[in-house]
Amino acid sequence: SVHTRDEVELPPPAIDNRLTVHPLWPEIDRISTEQIQAAFEGVGGEIGWQLFAEEGDMRMYRREMEVDGMVMDPLKAMHKVRGVSAREMCHYFFNPRYRYEWETTLETMTIVEEISSDAMVFHQTFKRIWPASQRDALFWSHVRADGDTYAVTNHSTTNNDYPANTGACIRLFVTVCLACRTSCPAGERPTRDNITTSIAYCSTVNPGGWAPAGVLRAVYKREYPKFLKRFTSYVQEQCHGKPLAM
Ligand code: 18C
């Protein structure tokens, strides 16, 4: 059969065997399963979730949480995007080839380990926000299909070649899940013109060291909506005119 380069690199519909024999597999499987299950759970009316940004179909909620004076507010965002599939959304979020094109907080990205076609370990440094120290992160990233959902989960890990807090950067800790589901009108064949993908993006960032609470909350209120709008329109542009991959 004939495959384009993009097609063969789309997230696989089943878990890659090379991942299931890797030492990180039990953790990757457990955390991904938990994150995907929680992703579409309602926020409407639930205690503690506050709506802080709304634009079109996008809604962003946070729960104020401080541990020893450090802000660790969990964030949950819901969005709806037309004309791109869940699988395509996850492809662009997972694949490092596109990351500098949509990720505006990034200073550097290094691939630490290519575990399999559906799992990698990344080291990233972020733009510095005055007056705090620059941050970096080391995390695994895993893309999978789970029933009618495609999802990417990112979660902090460790690696002896990338020790924390040895240079200019403070290591932050992150758990992120982008979960997507595609629907089309009953009885119709899915096409770019009739599909809608529902997105749930959940993120918890532990800043890893002192950062002024006011600055931090101001930064994420600005940066999370910017990220989700930019990322979703980036994927729509990339997919425009290409055959739909479901
Ligand atoms: O999920 C996203 N991206 C993925 C691929 O990169 C991956 C990344 C996760 C890291 C998220 C943490 C980013 C921290 C950035 C800090 C500096 C940003 C400065 C930007 C200024 C122009 O999963 C999309 C991620 C969207 C990130 C939105 C910003 C979140 C801010 C959270 C607070 C950070 C605390 C540390 C900094 C202290 C500053 C006072």
Cα of 105 to ligand 1 centre, how many Å?
6
% of the chain beyond a pLDDT of 70: 96
What's the rounded Cα separation, in Å, for the pair 18 and 25?
Answer: 10
Q: Give the count of beta carbons closer than 10 Å to the beta carbon of residue 91.
A: 24
Q: Report pLDDT digits (tens) over 141-165.
A: 999 999 999 999 999 999 999 999 9
CA 73 from centroid of its chain's CA atoms:
16
Candidate CATH numbers 3.30.530.20, 1.20.1250.20, 3.40.140.10, 2.30.40.10; the one for domain 5-239: 3.30.530.20
Domain ranges of the chain: 5-239
User: pLDDT confidence of 98, banded at 50, 70, 90?
Assistant: very high
User: pLDDT confidence of 6, banded at 50, 70, 90?
Assistant: low
What's the rounded Cα separation, in Å, for the pair 231 and 85?
Answer: 14
Cα of 245 to ligand 1 centre, how many Å?
29
8 A C-beta contact, residue 58 and residue 147: no
Q: Give, using CA atoms, the residue closest to atom 22 of ligand 1.
A: 105
Q: Report pLDDT digits (tens) over 34-64.
A: 999 999 987 766 677 899 999 999 999 999 9
Q: Which residues, judged by CB distance below 6 Å to any ligand atom, belong to the binding site of ligand 1?
A: 103, 105, 124, 126-127, 129, 132, 135, 137, 154, 172, 174, 176, 205, 207, 211, 215-216, 219-220, 223-224, 227
pLDDT of residue 7: 52
Q: Report pLDDT digits (tens) over 115-130.
A: 999 999 999 999 999 8
Q: Give, using CA atoms, the residue closest to atom 1 of ligand 1.
A: 176
8 A C-beta contact, residue 179 and residue 143: no
User: pLDDT confidence of 1, banded at 50, 70, 90?
Assistant: very low
User: pLDDT confidence of 4, banded at 50, 70, 90?
Assistant: low
Average pLDDT, the chain: 94
What's the rounded Cα separation, in Å, for the pair 83 and 240?
Answer: 8
